[in-house]
Amino acid sequence: MRMFAGAIGLLVFGLFPALLPAAAPTVAPPPAVGGRSHVLMDSATGKVLAAQNEHQRAEPASLTKLMTAYTIFHALKDGKVRLTDNVVVSERAWREGGAGSAGSTMFLPIHGSTTLENMLKGMIIQSGNDASIALAEHLSGSEEAFSDVMNRHAKELGMNDTHYVNSAGLPDPQHYTSAFDIALLSRALIREFPQYYAWFSEKDFLFNGIKQGNRNLLLYRDPTVDGIKTGHTQTAGYCLAASAKRGDMRMITVVMGTESPDARARASLELLNYGFRYYETRRLYEAGKPVAQARVWKGVAETVGLGVPADIWVTIPRGSLEQVKAATEAPRDLTAPLDPATPVGRLKLTLGGDPLLESPLVPLSAVAEGSLWRRTVDTVLLWFE
């Protein structure tokens, strides 16, 4: 069976007029920022661009509410709850998260109620512990049952450093996460629920005549920042998951355990600026678009386009796009039947000779077996191949 390699390379290189060897662009080392751990991640690709102790176990504090929100958003998507639901404040929600508690609150009255949408905004913008507990009880009956759902979502997202026991982020030895896991969660939340993510950029929320401001200082300092969430307890320190979009590129940074609200904001902004300054994210291939053609034997069609099953994005140092090379490993000749769900080869990308990314190559359309005559003729022709 004849194999072809390099055909994709010719196609890609046709996009870039200058192909002379060039030195790799210089990327400065990431900034040294305060805190116990941090991570900088590109949102489109998930590529980590800077990190320190990113898998170190950390107390999430109110960053827990990102998973509480993600869980409620999934319930909204599945039709289990509605934004217009009336959510009642239990004695537990009022006692552990209300005005008499030590944490942040939405100032919900005991046995009072409001819409689920208001509860979500109070939790996201004001970081209300009372709203978090009330939402958990509304969906699952108890915080304990809700925590099980949170942990299932964490497992599905690959958050291997995380375990939840409550919805608000109250301290507990069995309630923990990592900077990397919070970045994974933030990326999923932004990607899956853009219609709700806009709430994370709101600077204040008025409820029951009380107006409270968002504690994310970056919303006031950088117009490209549109989220995400702060967290703080005495033992966790000051934490921040932040995201900014500049042009078509979005970055996510998570900083854990800094010494003050200003310190977490400064550290996050330094990391975001570094990512945007030294890296770029590009879509190189679009799903459903052919990147090569293959001959088909014994089928109803003589050729089929080959492509990638999902868009291919890469995050690379700025100025290095022309150094991205591609090659295929796939048979030139295929035999019907062909199914778009079954890969027939691979596309390999390199940058400066180093592996960058691999993707399956799939037929872009199904090709059924041809008639008996077609199969017989092609069998004879293949003897001479």
| Residues carrying an active site annotation | 62, 65, 127
Looking from the CA of 343 toward its CB, the CA atoms found within 13 Å total: 13
Residue type, 25: P
Return d(Cα 328, Cα 348) in angstroms, integer. Answer: 6
Would you say 364 and 305 are in contact if contact means Cβ atoms under 8 Å apart? yes
The dihedral over CA atoms of 185, 187, 191, 195, expressed in degrees to the nearest 10, equals 70
From the number of C-beta atoms within 10 Å of its C-beta (0-12, 13-18, 19+), residue 34 rates as middle
Q: What is the DSSP letter of 231?
A: E
In the numeric block, which tokens belong to residue 336?
């019907």
How many residues are present in the chain? 385
Closest CA to 181 of 245, 241, 244, 250: 241
End-to-end CA distance of the chain: 9
Cα–Cα distance, 226 to 203 (Å, whole number): 10
